[in-house]
Structure 1
Amino acid sequence: MTKYQMINVEGNPVEEIELNDSIFNVEINEHVVYLVVKNILANKRQGTQSAKTRSEVRGGGRKPWRQKGTGRARQGSIRSPQWRGGGIVFAPKPRDYSYTTPKKVRRLAMKSVLTSKVQEKELIVVDNFVMDAPKTKEFAGYLKAMGAQNKALFVTADGDVNATKSARNIKNVAVSTVDTLNVYDILKYDSLILTKDALDKVVEVYN
């Protein structure tokens, strides 16, 4: 078990905890992480791009000039791709870019990025976090006290409405839950902040 220091919202050490080595101390597989990030970004694509082919643009019903005798190149339609206002060659059409990666690959990628956060000292574990009401200034103060870097991802076990609303107006700060946590978000933010309950749930899910 890897020893790790747990702090409170004021940034003071509370106790030394043990991190599960099967999750937070594995051999980092960069290629697997790349595959999962690529999959996440592909699934985010809307795929709504669209352009018209020569059969869909308006006009061009008649041959612009006769086939022979003009001295000009033969043309069949003013809406051919080489004409201004013509159709697009191999025009992009709406499509679905999403696909899935194997569950084992996703789990290995998650363990790899969690391990990297531990190794780079970018993981922050908080013993308890309670906010009575949404307060942006108070939440920002907690982040600063905990030593979170400019870009921070705060993860709770379940949805915390007050924390979510408090972080909404803070640049480069996001609040997530263990259920929605993904490899791309962990890599996107410099600091990963887990509450004690969130840490226990991560161990429960990925162990």
Structure 2
Amino acid sequence: MRVPVWNIEGQQVGEVELRPEVFEAPIHIPLMHQALVRQLANARLGTHKTKTRGEVHYSSRKMWPQKHTGRARQGSRDAPHWYHGGVVFGPRPRSYEQRMPKKMRRAALRSALSVKAREGQILILDRLELPEPRTRLMKEVLARLPVGKSALILLAGPNENVRRAVRNLPNVAYLHAMCLNIRDLFKYETLIIPLDALAMIEDWLTRPVVRKKFALPAAGAASAA
């Protein structure tokens, strides 16, 4: 797939071939959904908590006698059916972490990038540099480019001018290319990628996944210890 390359002046300066392994990969909707749910779940703190009747502290005095009052018998003000009493089966602190193999996560990113490429929502720049960190300059650059309602800018390295120029724009975000994730891909309409960041993403998503091997200590070293 060949797409045009733009400069910050809004002019087409050439074309670039997108690697089909990344931008023409098979689209797996359930896999993308699983990756998105995993990322959103891992972002949850899980610190919610309610008090049980053993943690609510009211007076331990019996409210009224057991018999001869005409009222229902009550033994504890901490009971769940009382106002401000303990909560039954309430939320407790827990972890919402979900695990997903690295191969599946990368396959989900390739599927999402393929959807973006098919919809024409990927914009390639020759370079993205600003002389000073001004929001007005970044707004003028985006106005000259065919950008949708929102945009995600991916850069190959830290760029303080771009970061500070983007942070005041409500529908534009800045992200390092190696931090690309499924949530931001779906959150923003247009993906703006300079050529150096494009090469980094293509190399990352086509690189084979190597499993880490943990070497056991030798028998002689263990006995000596």
Give the conservation status (yes or no) of the 8 Å contact 1:9–1:145. Answer: yes
% identical equivalent positions: 37
Mapping 1:93-132, distance limit 5 Å: 93-132=92-131
Q: Give the RMSD, CA atoms, in angstroms.
A: 1.3
Post-superposition offset of 1:23: 0.5
Aligned partner of 1:3 in structure 2 is 2
Task: Say which one has the larger Rg.
Answer: 2
Corresponding residue for 2:202? 203
**Alignment partner, residue 157 of structure 1:** 156
**2:214 matched residue in structure 1:** none
C-alpha distance in 2, partners of 1:10/1:117?
Answer: 23
Question: C-alpha deviations, 1:122-162, integer Å up to 9, x for none?
Answer: 10000111112201101011111111112110000112111
Separation in 1, partners of 2:201, 2:168: 27
Q: Is the 8 A contact 1:155 1:177 kept in 2?
A: yes
Q: How does 1:31-180 map to 2 (within 5 A)?
A: 31-180=30-179
TM-score of the two chains, using structure 1 as the length reference: 0.95
The total of aligned residue pairs comes to 206
Counterpart CA distance in 2 for 1:186 and 1:129 is: 20
Q: Which runs of 5+ in 1 are unaligned?
A: none
Give distance in 2, aligned partners of 1:151 and 1:46.
28
Describe the SS at the equivalent of 1:146.
coil
Question: Is contact 1:159–1:176 with CA below 8 Å preserved after alignment?
Answer: no
- Single out whichever of 188-197 and 99-108 deviates more from structure 2: 99-108
The answer for unaligned runs of 5 or more in structure 2 is 207-225
